[in-house]
Structure 1
């Protein structure tokens, strides 16, 4: 292993260690769809010619990510010097190219993804042989693969391998000039988007769904007005003494929730309607139902409810809710109903 390879391995180890240290900052749902990006990388190049076939290279690149798995990427690569000999003279070939192609991502989790690249490069080679200088260029197939680590929504580290097929047009001896190029590099990419876009939108949607699920499991208890049953209250058994129009303590307790509700809902009014059973004269029962209804209304006004919100009516023997031929039925029919409106 030569010095260049040792240095490259040390750099890889350093970047991986840095990635692990920074992992708590990773956006767990990182997506960069619809964003442009720029990056730079450097690394080791290898040529399939005879002689000194190692060199350092450097690159700048940029692209556009269409969705979570497909990007278009283009860049410039300086691939270093390929050195060899022809007879007794040395040959130095300086390689650089421009490349363009498609990048395909395979997500491995919250922060890691594999990618593959396929495209073409236009190669420019300057040959120096003895006292001569000769330019050379051609098109090549480019294939690549790599691994990316997402530090945050905007930053990614990548390690990448690229292969360029038959760089050079063989104007000189093809044994020394035309070459495949292997390029192993480390790079850093910056995506021009905010964390409120793309990935963060997905994260926010996930958080909203989680919150909704949590609310379904544990409903938030909010202070609400008193319930609104219909009727609001029914005073029957134990509401009045025998042949009396005075409310009992039990009857007043039944009216207290009505007072509370009307205090909380000033737009709500009530009807207070009195009824009797069928025992006795109908005219007497009518008067008795009116008096008992008025007593219930007086209790409401006595507790702060404006009389304009209360309608009082007696209906005597009308609208029985039980059988008047039984004591139990007659007791149910002797009632006052309070309803909201």
Structure 2
């Protein structure tokens, strides 16, 4: 049995490039969490899991007993596991200088480097703070401290979470059992602001720890508990730029939360969820999936589908043809979610009807499905961030359904097609630009066979594994202006 040493693990991971779901969890579900066996040990505690942007490495912390100044103490150190073709490798302790005989953790990623928990200039003193390191000549440099006001507190407990923008640092700090959440922002002058208390809606009379901020910097995940109740994972939506006004936090549904300690929630680009839980009697890292399902009708009305004439078949590309999509030669914003979809169909503003270009793409899909009866297809709809989340969710589902209806009208069985919608949750480009929003109005196409196997977490978004007839049909909201 592992020893309960979580009291020192008040730290957390960074916000990955994924603007997560909002307050309406009746639309979403989570897979049953399973332990990540190569990461979890028998005797020690694991926490603070964080998947690298490429999805090929999990960083996490593991407790260790060390001797400092002739005194035996317990600390948490950085470990990692890599994803190879056969799965996750056995966990390995990170090398010096990432581990330096003090409390450490990976709290975020930077270009060619990491953000770290702790101030490495303090020797064995475990000084509070945050640091950064980068790879130089094939090795990590000595971590350098970030100058953050009010962070180097004496005593108490604190945790850190660097947002993917590298401009927002979430902080939990306070006496044990009474921690609150704060934020510090990087100014245009390159200085970190004074800590801002997130306000009474977030900070309760109990404790709040383990903050995680979605890519859009709107949705905050954190854990809340008190003296009589172990921590549960909650989510809240930021309402303005003061960082003090939030929606009422909502407890994540089963099976993410249990009746024991649950914290350190993070989510990767493909909707893989990682968190730490004591539900089996020892603190381990668990993996789940965020899923959104949409049913296809049994009878498809095809009278509204416009017939088209193709001059030639278009192959399914594994890259997005950006110039054709945007219709412009101006610079293309960097893709933020480099998914491994087999193809894409893009949509006009506020529309779920197929364009000529989208139908051309789907005709290439048709040929592949007809030539290989063992293939099934998953269609995942998306929208940009304009308008309400509920509306965007419905529109993304309608876009996936439109693509499915076209394939069915051309002779593909509905039982070979699965659709889902992720609303505004997984943009592949910057929603602040017109070109970026055009790229985000899409359906992603994934081929699979009946004998699926586990794949690296960077390869797919969350998809339904049920065929359309198994999913409950839900009415869709009528499209209106103002959404993309």
Relative to the length of structure 1, the TM-score reads 0.32
Relative to the length of structure 2, the TM-score reads 0.23
Higher relative contact order (CA 8 A, sep 6+): 2
Q: Which structure features the higher share of strand residues?
A: 1
Q: Which structure features the higher share of helix residues?
A: 1
